[in-house]
Amino acid sequence: MKGIYLDHAATTPISKAVLDEMMPYLKGSYGNASSIHALGQTSREAIDESRERVARFLNCLPSEIVFTGSATESDNIAILGIADFFLKQGKRIHIITSKIEHPAVLNTCEVLDKRGVEVDYCNVGKDGVIDVSDIEKLIKENTVLVSIMYANNEIGTIQPIIEIGKLIQRINQTREQKICFHTDAVQAVNYLSCDVKELGVDFLTLSAHKIYGPKGVGVLYTKQGTQIEPIVYGGHQEAKLRPGTENTANIVGLGRAIEDISTHKHSTDVMEQLRDKLMDGILNEIKHSRLNGSIDHRLPNNINVSFDGAEGEALVIALDQKGIATSTGSACSSGSLDPSHVLLALGLSHVQAHGSLRMTLGRQTTEKDIDKVLDVLTKIVKKLRTISGYKKSLASERSE
């Protein structure tokens, strides 16, 4: 049975074009990009070209691109690096983030919180979207950083980054202590404009493996003139912000993957139609199901639904047994014990937050896949609900 993959928010398959471009650097061209000789130079050229490709995509200078080991690392370099810059001067600083950030941001902010940095976690509406005025209210005299994700990894809701960027630029005009704006754009890159000038961001995180590139490589856009301390020390690579020998093949793959995004723009419309078909199908055909997060401000490939009487974990396993790969929330949190912090932030109860199913479509998803998923999912939910009934009968058989 050919499997159906609906977990593109966790990771995407590596595209053939990307892999083909990477192969020479995994096989013959092994030179260290910092070496003087020709073999080294071949690697350097490849990295430089990739840097240019990424810069074109983000509408920035190549020198503003820092290649990292992952998006998590990019988030850490940005947040800890900015904080360290001020902490080394003995300043008391304040950071604003949101309650629905990826753990890479949330847990990093919590570490700073413990180190004495003031951190505010902005609320989101029931629709999973931040209100810009809520950010404005949180800004204080000693605020140095606002870090808000571009699109949420669990429920796909798109945050008003342009508006927040404008707000910060306006406030910065009359402020001595400027505020930096960082966005984790990992989930957005495939579908939304990441023109950093348009967004008004100083730092932006992205990852290759969510855009049909290899795992283990990310980018941190760092605007020229921003002040940041390294968090890892070593050689001169990547403007000393990410020392260590460059992973040439992965960086090349990232460059190609990012360039290919524009050639796949048309397929986004098709994807959205398929997503709507699946979403409408579920909400119409399966009673007591509901969509988590806004319909309007949402990535075109994301569905996050809850079903009364059927748990997310059970749904994912049952679907997997039918060859359909999905997820409960984010892959990063599935190893943890807690219910989704994102769904809790939306105001869902603990039980409801345990009961969600995330399906994220990709370039390869077909209408046939969607029909099949709808058919299988309907049956599985029905089955699981029968078992919940069974559960009650089991309980009643127990004595005293």
Helix ranges, 91-210 (H):
103-114, 132-138, 161-173, 196-199
Q: Pick out residues in 287-326 that bind other proteins (CB under 8 A).
A: 313-314, 317-318, 320-321
Active site residue 332: yes
Task: Look at residue 119 and give its three-state secondary structure.
Answer: strand
Site for other proteins (CB under 8 A): which residue of 141, 176, 296, 400? Answer: 400
By CB under 8 A, is residue 61 in contact with other proteins? no
Distance of closest approach, residue 31 Cβ to other proteins, in angstroms: 37
Question: Nearer Cβ to other proteins, position 61 or 317?
Answer: 317
Which residue among 109, 180, 194, 332 is the active-site one?
A: 332
DSSP annotation string for 224-270: TT-----SS--SSTGGGTS-S---HHHHHHHHHHHHHHHHTHHHHHH
By CB under 8 A, is residue 176 in contact with other proteins? no
Distance of closest approach, residue 384 Cβ to other proteins, in angstroms: 5
Q: Are 101 and 147 in contact (CB under 8 A)?
A: yes
Question: Nearer Cβ to other proteins, position 141 or 400?
Answer: 400
Number of chain positions touching other proteins (CB under 8 A): 22
By CB under 8 A, is residue 394 in contact with other proteins? yes
Sign of the C-alpha dihedral computed for residues 374, 380, 386 and 392 taken in this order: negative
Q: Pick out residues in 328-387 that bind other proteins (CB under 8 A).
A: 335, 337, 350, 354, 383-384, 387
Beta strands in the chain (DSSP E): 4-5, 65-68, 94-98, 118-122, 143-147, 180-184, 203-207, 218-222, 289-291, 302-307, 324-325, 356-360
Question: Nearer Cβ to other proteins, position 129 or 318?
Answer: 318
Question: Nearer Cβ to other proteins, position 61 or 394?
Answer: 394
Q: Are 121 and 94 in contact (CB under 8 A)?
A: no
User: d(Cα 97, Cα 121) in Å, to the nearest integer?
Assistant: 5
Active-site residue set: 332
Q: Which residues bind other proteins (CB under 8 A)?
A: 313-314, 317-318, 320-321, 335, 337, 350, 354, 383-384, 387-388, 390-391, 393-394, 397-400
